[in-house]
Structure 1
Amino acid sequence: MQGNMMLQPLLISNLIEHAARYHGDTAIISKNTDGTITTTDWTHVAENSKRFANALASLGTAHGDRIATIAWNNHRHLESWYAISGSGMICHTINPRLFPEQLVFIINDAQDKVVLFDKTFLPLISAVKAHTPTVEHFICLGAFDQDVATALPEVKFYDALIAENSAEFDWPNFDENTASSLCYTSGTTGNPKGALYSHRSTILHTYAICLPDSLNLSANHVMLPVVPMFHVNAWGTPYAAAMVGCTFVLPGPGLDGASLVQMIDQYKVNIALGVPTIWQGLLAAAKQLGSSLDSLNRNVVGGSACPPAMMKAFRDLYHCETIHAWGMTEMSPLGTSNQLKAKHQQLSSEEQLKIRLSQGRPPFGVDIRITDEENGTHEVARDGHTTGNLQVKGHWIIESYYRKSNSATTADGWFDTGDIASVNEDGYLLLSDRAKDLIKSGGEWISSVELENIAMSHPNIAMAAVIAATHPKWDERPIVIAIKQQGAEVTEEDVLNYYSDKIAKWQIPDKVIFVDAIPLTGTGKMLKKDLREQYGSVLLES
């Protein structure tokens, strides 16, 4: 016997309709590529999404077509998202920081029919245009611009299309398992691979990230997603913002610390989300500008492990709670979020900090396990100490990659993340390292993440990466690649001595190399592959 409840498909168009109906006058604040600010609201975002849906239909697009976006976090990008997915097409966000060869591969692999872009990326579009035969239309996200029109004569302009089309549009009804959006992995090894999300998986993921034990979002929030919309859909925040109807502050291309401080202070942002490298810039700028970041009471850190020193700085200097989260492109991306349980409230702040440094617990909809071998099925103890291969399964986790016939999961249906981790009895996940970044010295494993956290807690170190260097006796030994704080005087000996009372002696790195910059991926993670290529033989040279 079945239940007697209404059955309505879970569709992304429902989110924008809800936001417009119940939070229509709530502000959407958007920084444009020229630095100007546009203030709109959910009513107008919904109207423009319908206008653009009509525009796309007039260009001959159809259900299931892939529509690419190469754009910053701004109101036009947001409107286009809802127009594309709401119409039954697939919103394909592209990371502009990838190499041109990777961009060409991604566009051709997706067989994109339309490409939307911000003027910032005109040189990129010009470079790849001749190599993307499936693309029929290029649309610049802005008003008419002579420079763009001269460089790309066939270009169309978003603002003109919006002005020409009606806001009357009936969102189509279709199966909730229909594909909604497409994100490619960063492709650090081999070609990028596509994760194709569905309307159902996206809506369930949106519910999950809004929960109190996840990101704890509501209509009371003024949210700033510093994480780009081209990085795993800005961690799902554009959908969550519509679901709860919060004020949404979109920073455009202004991701430097000073620009973020200005936006946080001016628009009273109380929750912001980004990767650790972003928050390092914010902390430095807040100190330099003398801002106390009064409104900011919560920041979410993901993408890579949050250094303890950073979490302490937000807590002690700015009274800001840091939420550690973890996920992957293949997971839409949320896997875990670190919120304390009731029994932890009686602990001291330092004891709570130790818990906060883990990646947290999975929400309902995700399950995690640690196995003793890659793609294995034997689960190790949940004791917070025993490490193994992290595997996941759930409602918004990949089963297979886009246009790949083989399954991406284990024989019993779990996705192996490539991370080494442990889980404690309360379900808190603690990542040790990426499997490929672990350092094996004399037969014993050393976590690069733990060594990086110690290095970055040194008051004179701004950023640090730890990699394995080939060693003639021990096979591999850790070395530190570090950037000094501006104006700081610190020596290799100072840094190595700093480790002496914090870890076992045999884990202390063999060498510290000071550099002016550490290469980053398009999503702000340290490119350890490049560092290994450059410095991996340094211990053999001495």
Structure 2
Amino acid sequence: MHGLMQQRPLSLPHVFHRAEQLFGHKTIVTATADGEQSVTIAEWAQRTRRLATALDTLGVSADGRVGTFCWNTARHLELYLAAPCTGRVLHTLNIRLFPEQLVYIANHAEDEVVFVDRSLLPVLWPLADKFETVRRYVVIDDGADVPIPDDPRVLDYEELLAAAEPYQGRFRVDDENTAAAMCYTSGTTGNPKGVVYSHRSTLLHSLISLIADGAALSERDVMMPVVPMFHANAWGLPYGALLAGSDIVFPGPNMTPQAILGLIQDHKVTVTGGVPTIWMGALPLLDDYDVSSLRTILCGGSAVPRSLSEAYREKIGLPMLHAWGMTETSPIATMSTARSHHAALDESGRADARARQGQPVPLVELRLVDPDTGEEQPWDDVATGEIQAAGPWIAREYYRGEGGGAQFTKDGWLRTGDVASVDRYGFVRLVDRTKDLVKSGGEWISSVELENEIMAHPKVAEAAVIAIPHEKWVERPLACVVVKPGETVTPEEIIEFLTPRVAKWWLPDAVEFIDEVPKTSVGKFSKKTLRDKFAGYQMAGPEE
């Protein structure tokens, strides 16, 4: 016997039409170099309809990849809906990646057009001739004093929209399993790998930001996503805000603590979200701004230090709402909202509970597996194992089958690479990582790639990179270097050698010279031995 319910696809056109029909009077504010720009959702919807038609004018194929190289803005939100609502695939390019990675990603995804904020042209345009499939570059003028290339491939965003008629009628995506967006993760060794989100997965994930034991977005909220829109769809917050009918504030290119706190104060932001480093930078300035409107500060991307969350609780009466996930989980998999069993704890106990990564959100399943034996571990808060995840917005493979399925189990679970313990209520507590990656300011640094670049130095025999705790960035890389016999080299020479080879924020904060890199029984670098050796190591870190 089958149910007799209507078969309507779970797709992003529903998000667009709901926002257009019900919340046209709500506002979207964007901070730009020229000051703030404000549009109503009704005005934004008309612009999005024009953009949908313009994608046809640009000749983007039926399921073509539409690249974006943009800050968090209302115009980026237009692309968030126009591309997938017309059957195309939104491909957000991470503006912080090293140029070679950007070229690889754009070519691997086969982007056909890239929309770029004018302020980011100096980063993107030097790579234009290396992009094999990109035919057009559409410049979004965000007020930056940057020259626009005189090239027939370059178009102006506003001129493009002005020449386009608004798309008429309702958008339709009949197959909810078609791709809506893609984001590449560098959280694994080797080349970045593409995670492809479907309409179904994106819509279901977006609903999670509306649940009570989540961000609980509502029509009464003013939501500001500080987490970049190029990073796992800004945790689904932009789509969630449109579903709920929240007012939206976008910080644009100015991501300084002063600018962010000023927007919270001026627009009475109630819900915001970003990585720990953002809130670390804002902490010393809280007394200078009125942030009493805030009710939720969503924090994730890397483990939230207990001290940071408690500092906010002491300052403004509002601790962090800790969340955990990864690009492959869309990204929200757990949230650490207070539960009834926490009420019996003292304040210190509740602070410990808030510091955990939290309970799996509805529709996400987790299990704890011993990475050596493959046996599932009990949820007793003592046993540890790798977290594996399953659910309707969890990746089942990478784009084009990259990675050979190593991160996915035979029975369809995602290997997250994080080691944790779980208590009987399902609250996750991360204790380690199965892979030796450095997570700095919410972004991954591949220790293997960094080691390979260091070992390319003619005077270096071996090098191992480990993560060292850092007060501001949570983690920073420490390079442990073995010099070839008879050679001498300084830390400054190592950094100078690396500077043109890796992104600036990948550069190690310190270089230590050692006699040899310790090895495991099978000849691999023993990072655990090095971490033990340098436990308590202090690094001042870079100025920016």
Question: Same fold judged by TM-score > 0.5?
Answer: yes
Q: After superposition, where does 1:183-332 map in structure 2 within 5 Å?
A: 183-186=183-186, 189-287=189-287, 290-332=288-330
* Paired-residue identity, %: 36
Taking the TM superposition and a 5 Å limit, the aligned residue runs for 1:79-98 are: 79-98=78-97
Instruction: In structure 1, give the amino acid aligned to 2:67.
Output: A
Please tell me the residue identity of whatever aligns with 2:302: S
Deviation at 1:227, TM superposition (A): 0.3
In the other structure, the counterpart of 1:341 is 339
- In structure 1, the partner of 2:433 is 434
2:542 matches 1:517: yes
Taking the aligned partners of 1:254 and 1:146, their CA distance within structure 2 comes to 14
Measure, in 2, the Cα distance between the counterparts of 1:24 and 1:391.
41
- 1:391 counterpart = 2:388: yes
Q: Following the alignment from structure 2 to structure 1, what is the Cα–Cα distance between the partners of residues 98 and 425? A: 42
Q: Any idea what the Cα deviations from partners look like across 1:215-238, whole Å, max 9, x if unmatched? A: 221111111100000011101111
Write out per-residue CA displacement over residues 455-479 of structure 1, whole angstroms, 9 at most, x where no aligned residue.
85xxxxx55647788799xxxxxxx
Change (3 A) 1:201 1:510: closer
Q: Which amino acid aligns with 2:47?
A: N
Distance 1:2 1:511 in 2: 61
Q: Distance in 1 between matches of 2:360 and 2:36?
A: 37
- Determine if the alignment matches structure 1 residue 25 to structure 2 residue 25: yes
- What do you get for the CA RMSD once the two structures are aligned? 2.6
Please list the CA deviations of residues 66-119 of structure 1 after superposition, one character each: whole Å capped at 9, or x if unmatched: 000000000111011110010000000000111111110000000000000001
* Contact kept? 1:53, 1:169, Cα under 8 Å: no
Equivalence for 1:354 = 352
Q: In the superposition, relative to structure 1, how do residues 510 and 81 fare at CA in structure 2: closer, same or farther (>3 Å)?
A: closer
Distance in 2 between residues matched to 1:354 and 1:413, nearest whole Å:
33
Describe the SS at the equivalent of 2:282: helix
Q: Distance in 1 between matches of 2:96 and 2:286?
A: 26
Amino acid at match of 1:197: Y
Deviation at 1:162, TM superposition (A): 1.5
**Structure 2 counterpart SS, 1:55:** helix
Structure 1 Cα separation of the partners of residues 473 and 187 of structure 2: 23
Q: Would you say 1:378 and 2:375 are equivalent positions?
A: yes
Runs of 5+ consecutive residues of structure 2 not aligned to the other structure: 439-465, 483-530
Report the secondary structure of 1:436's partner residue: coil
Deviation at 1:313, TM superposition (A): 1.1
Residues 226-285 of structure 1: per-residue CA shift (max 9 Å, x gap)? 000001110111110111010111000111101011101000011110001010111123
The amino acid of 2:537's aligned partner reads: V
Instruction: Kindly provide the amino acid, as one letter, of the partner of residue 339 in structure 2.
Output: K
Which residue of structure 1 lines up, in the alignment, with residue 11 of structure 2?
11
Deviation at 1:207, TM superposition (A): 1.2
Q: Is the 8 A contact 2:119 2:142 kept in 1?
A: no
Shift of 1:44: 1.5
Q: SS state of the match for residue 120, structure 1?
A: helix
Q: Give the superposition deviation at 1:50.
A: 0.8
CA contact (8 A) 2:187 2:437 kept: no
Q: Is 1:369 paired with 2:394?
A: no
Name the SS of the counterpart of 2:76 in structure 1. Answer: helix
Aligned residue pair count: 466
8 A Cα contact 1:100 1:127, kept in partner:
no
The residue identity in structure 1 corresponding to 2:417 is: G
**Which whole-Å CA distance do the structure 2 matches of 1:145 and 1:256 have between them?**
17
Q: Distance in 2 between matches of 1:133 and 1:466?
A: 34
Aligned counterparts of 1:236 and 1:468: Cα–Cα separation in 2: 33
**How far is 1:133 from its partner?**
2.1
Q: SS of the counterpart of 1:512?
A: coil
SS at match of 2:114: strand
Residue 148 of structure 1 deviates from its aligned partner by: 4.2
Aligned to 1:124: 123
Question: Mean Cα displacement is larger for which, 325-334 or 145-154?
Answer: 145-154
The answer for the alignment partner of 1:414 in structure 2 is 413
TM-score for the superposition, normalised by structure 1? 0.81
Structure 2 CA distance, aligned partners of 1:244 and 1:35?
29
Question: Which letter maps to 1:381?
Answer: P
Which amino acid letter does the alignment assign opposite residue 2 of structure 1? Answer: H
**What is the TM-score of this pair, normalised by structure 2?**
0.81
* CA 35–100 in structure 1, closer or farther in 2 if over 3 Å, else same: same
Deviations 1:311-362 (A, max 9, x none): 1111111111310000000111011001122232243322211111100011
Deviations 1:374-411 (A, max 9, x none): 5x642111001211111111110111101117444111
The match for 2:100 is 101
What is the letter of the counterpart of residue 517 of structure 1? P
Please say if residues 214 and 336 of structure 1, whose CA atoms lie closer than 8 Å, have aligned partners that are also in contact: no
Letter in 2 for 1:215: A
Match in the other structure for 1:158: 157
